[in-house]
Amino acid sequence: MPMELNLQEENNRSLKFHGGIFGALLPFMVFIVGVVFIALSGAPDEKGFWPILILAIGIGLILAKDRTAFSEIVISGMSQKIVMIMITAWILASIIGVLMTLTGFVEALIWISDQLHLNGIGFVIATFIICCIVSLSTGSSFATILICSPLLYPTGGILGAHLPSLAGAIIGGAAFGDFIAPISDTTIASALSQKTKIGATVKSRIKYIIPAALLALVCYTLTAFWFNDIGNTNENILTGKPKALIMLLVPALIIYLFLKGKHLLHGLLFGLLFGTVLGLASGLLPMAQLMSLDLENFAAKSFVIDGINRAVGLSIFTILLMGLVATLKASGLMTKLVDFAALRTKTEKQAEGWIATVMSMAVLLTTHSIVAILMVTDFTNKTGEKLGVSKIRRANLLSLIACIFPFVLPYFIPVILMANMTATGKEFGIPQVSPFEVGLFNFMSWGLLVMALLTIFFGFGKNKKPQEIDE
């Protein structure tokens, strides 16, 4: 059975701050300004945000009138069960991502592109499709960007692809998996927070993702054709092991297990174990990558360790941020926003609109989609249940918003990360792409925005059955 989400009871004590609303907002202002400054300076690593969050929490402690209550609320926010669920998902998904990389999975996909004799135009389209497959396989937008950018961006540049379209195709493919992959943190958070099953939620998202992806393909084709330049092919970059395509069985197994309603840990661990055995048996995964000891440096080496290390930055960032977010909720600021929305929510359509609006505000405030989902969980549940918005539809609204703003606005981590990864083309004489261009040419997320508007204003995707079946 899928894991049930039981959120911890909120601390009922309200926090008061010196300076009133300004005092309550100041820690978040410091956080947002610090994150934007660091990100725009070219260092989007989540570890760089740790000191900013510590500073923000420290400022909040100084301004809080009841510092004991402030401290307890911070710890309570950090220790929510769903936070641990997310961290578990990130760790296991990161390990799977490293496994897929070591076995040559991405290079095998590139080999297919080479066999099809793709030019700059075709390569942009192929890049988008490849990144969709990778993100669907790993469930991680960050892993997709980190894995695919060093391989696909220089290659596409050499083939004469329009560089902003190429960068947009990579992050667009990353957004694809973030929205629909069963092991995506966004999928898991939205489904579990609304107490619906992951498999049923994934099935319901097909009607959103297909039109958005088709619209993105049309836009990538048009822009790539319009701006395309003919380049010289470097055959060395297009090498790969076609037999690595057998690793497609790993995400296929994980998807199958989730669609069968298996437990989160069940699906991810089975997928990881199966992928490891398959990689070793096929000779794609060197035995030394499983575990080796560096006696000289007193260190152990393993692809598992590498995967966990990749998840550390985001995990600690989330833990610290959830502590800060808890103080925002306790200050009553989010309550005022929610109350404002609740007073104006009288119908099912209005409920959907305000769910999307409150989620948007939460995303823009925290710059973190998962944290935003957690912030609006109670409002979304209560409002949806009161006015008849189905669990799955609520989860889909949350994920739609979560896969739009973080992938198009130039101060969000995925956009900054993608822009910085385009530096991998410098050694081939290929210039970088700005964060603004990355977001502008991410047609996948713009397509999801279209679907979100159709959903909110015209009721697209609404279950026609009188009662949602969530079994």
Q: Pairing mode, if any, of strands 292-294 and 299-301?
A: antiparallel
More confident residue, 420 or 66: 66
Q: How far, in whole angstroms, is CA 41 from its chain's centroid? A: 22
Question: Residue 380: pLDDT above 70?
Answer: yes
Please give the helix or strand (H or E) that residue 293 lies within, else none.
Answer: strand 292-294
pLDDT in tens, 161-191: 889 999 999 999 999 999 999 888 899 889 9
Task: Identify the pLDDT of residue 36.
Answer: 74
What pLDDT, on the 0 to 100 scale, is given for residue 230?
46
Residue 59: pLDDT band with limits 50, 70, 90: very high
Backbone φ and ψ of 300, nearest 5°:
-105, 145
Query: What angle, 0 to 180 degrees and rounded to 10, lies between the N-to-C axes of helices 120-138 and 141-158?
Result: 160
Place of tokens 């496994």: 99
Domain ranges in the chain? 21-458
Q: 8-17, 146-155, 399-408, 433-442 — which one is most confidently predicted on average?
A: 399-408
* Residue-wise pLDDT tens digits, 149-160: 877 887 788 777
**Which residues are 17's β-sheet partners?**
64
Alpha carbons 240 and 110: distance in angstroms, whole number: 7
| SS3 call for 139 | coil
Characterize 177-215 residue by residue with b for buried, 16 or more Cβ atoms within 10 angstroms of its Cβ, and e for exposed. Answer: bbbbbbbbbbbbbbbbbbbbbbbbbbebbeebbebbbeb
Residue 129's pLDDT band (boundaries 50, 70, 90)?
Answer: very high
Mean pLDDT throughout 115-123?
Answer: 75
Give the integer Cα–Cα distance in Å for 179 and 139: 9
pTM for the complete prediction? 0.70
pLDDT tens, position by position, 381-416: 888 888 888 889 999 999 999 999 999 987 677 887
Residues composing the chain: 471
- Paired tokens of 229: 């330049």
